[in-house]
Amino acid sequence: MDLTYSLRIMRGGGRPMSAAAIIPSCPEVLVLRHGQTEWNAEGRLQGHLDSPLTEKGLRQAQRQNEILQPYDLTGFRFISSPQGRAHMTAQIALAGLAAEIETSTELMEIGMGAWAGTTRAEIAAERKCSLHDLGQTQFYDWAPGGEGTARLYDRCAAFLAQLTGPAVLVTHGMTSLCLRLCALGWGLDRLEDLPSGQGVVYRVKAGHHDEL
């Protein structure tokens, strides 16, 4: 089966409608976003670039470890984005829990192209629009040379489709959102319906979403 073709169930704007057809029964996933970074604190978009965790970010990763400690993780795989901020978070959040932390480029953050390292205010000034006009997520599709949300969604769906059992996934803000959308069988039209906090652990299990 051609996975990319199978995901091209389009709605207006060219976004995939749903991953349900290709992921009829997604294994349980626990999804962690990396802790706050220096660029998060400055309001800068990171994309495939990186910046170190702040002291707050380190505490958030430790909080994730505390949340996971009592959870039965028997049979789980532990997979992290290879980007520094996520991998550092994984090392802290999974300390004493994971014998091995795998990495997958499929869990990297959405590519921001020419806008990586810029702020929303700088983007608004470039486009001669207000911050409100950028919206919460729609500007990710405008980034020159960026990946765009449809391709990120496809990437996340392809990653989840190859899972054969439960997994803890340490990733990034937009990637976390798309992973959970796909695991729920929801389309990109519901991108802004899910939370995207740091220092928390989200669970998708049997079609339901909650926070541990």
Tokens of 172: 């990034």
Does the annotation place 44 within a ligand binding site? no
Does the annotation place 36 within a ligand binding site? yes
Nearest to 142 by CA among 123, 129, 118, 122: 123
**Measured between alpha carbons, how far is 78 from 38 in angstroms, rounded to an integer?**
25
Does the annotation place 91 within a ligand binding site? no
Does the annotation place 208 within a ligand binding site? no
Does the annotation place 35 within a ligand binding site? yes
**Measured between alpha carbons, how far is 111 from 151 in angstroms, rounded to an integer?**
10
The residues, any chain, with a CB within 8 Å of residue 75's CB and separated by 6 or more, are 165, 166
71-to-68, 93, 128, 149, 201 alpha-carbon distances in Å: 5, 13, 48, 32, 11
Does the annotation place 39 within a ligand binding site? yes
85-to-37, 52, 105, 205 alpha-carbon distances in Å: 7, 6, 14, 26
| Catalytic residue numbers, as ranges | 34, 109
Does the annotation place 34 within a ligand binding site? yes
The residues, any chain, with a CB within 8 Å of residue 56's CB and separated by 6 or more, are 35, 36, 41
Phi, psi of 54 (to 5 degrees): -80, 175
Binding residues: 33-40, 85
Q: Which residues are annotated as a binding site for substrate?
A: 33-40, 85
